[in-house]
Amino acid sequence: MENKELSPVLDKEDRTQGRVEEMRHKLAESGHRITPQRLCILQALTDSPSHPSAEEIFSEVHRACPTTSLATIYKTLQTLKDMGEVIELEFSDGSNRYDGLRPKSHPHCVCTKCGVIVDVEVEGLEDLDRRASDLSGFAIDHYRIDFYGLCRKCQEQ
């Protein structure tokens, strides 16, 4: 895992398998069939080191389940998103990225050169949604915080 040496970055190894099971359970609970293709998608969604795009999930899934179409990927992502099990990070160039490991809003660091996206825990930003809700009276259901810059790898190049 290339992110190992990045101390502020959460180690997601421990989350991966648990999240696959959780999402699988949620899908089944809401009446969705757990097809081998869907399982492959859940695996790819949580295996990927850095918030994969639908296309990246597709090429990963395609190796294990070659019959899976990109449309199926999008449909499953939409279903998981609607269930609050996946976060979709939209970008203006249309290259949306997905986080199936942490379905609750959290800050991200986005590399402006290679496009890698990592979760980052910043002290003082916990409970932001609750605090913003207290101040504004809004019933907040999600938020988006991105930090942009060069990742360690790109800084070294």
Cα distances (angstroms) measured from residue 49 to each of 56, 63, 112, 114, 116: 11, 17, 17, 13, 9
Q: Does 56 bind Zn ion (CB under 5 A)?
A: no
Q: Does 99 bind Zn ion (CB under 5 A)?
A: yes
The tokens for 24 are: 């699988």
Interacting residue with Zn ion among 56, 60, 85, 119 (CB under 5 A): 119
Helices 54-64/36-47 angle, 10° precision: 130
Determine contact, residues 89/97, Cβ cutoff 8 Å: yes
Q: Residue 39 or residue 154: which is nearer to Zn ion going by CB?
A: 154
Q: Residue 44 or residue 65: which is nearer to Zn ion going by CB?
A: 44
Residues 2 and 143: their CA atoms lie apart, in Å, by: 27
Q: Residue 32 or residue 107: which is nearer to Zn ion going by CB?
A: 107
At its nearest, how many Å lie between Zn ion and the CB of residue 117? Answer: 7
Interacting residue with Zn ion among 1, 34, 114, 125 (CB under 5 A): 114
Q: Does 109 bind Zn ion (CB under 5 A)?
A: no
At its nearest, how many Å lie between Zn ion and the CB of residue 141? Answer: 17
For residue 53, what are the β-bridge partners? 97
Residue span 134-153 as binding mask against Zn ion, x where in contact by CB under 5 A, dash where not? -----------------x--
Q: Does 110 bind Zn ion (CB under 5 A)?
A: no
Residues 39 and 43: their CA atoms lie apart, in Å, by: 6
In three-state secondary structure terms, 118 is strand
The tokens for 131 are: 């605090």
Q: Residue 15 or residue 62: which is nearer to Zn ion going by CB?
A: 15
Contacts with Zn ion by CB under 5 A lie at 99, 111, 113-114, 116, 119, 151, 154
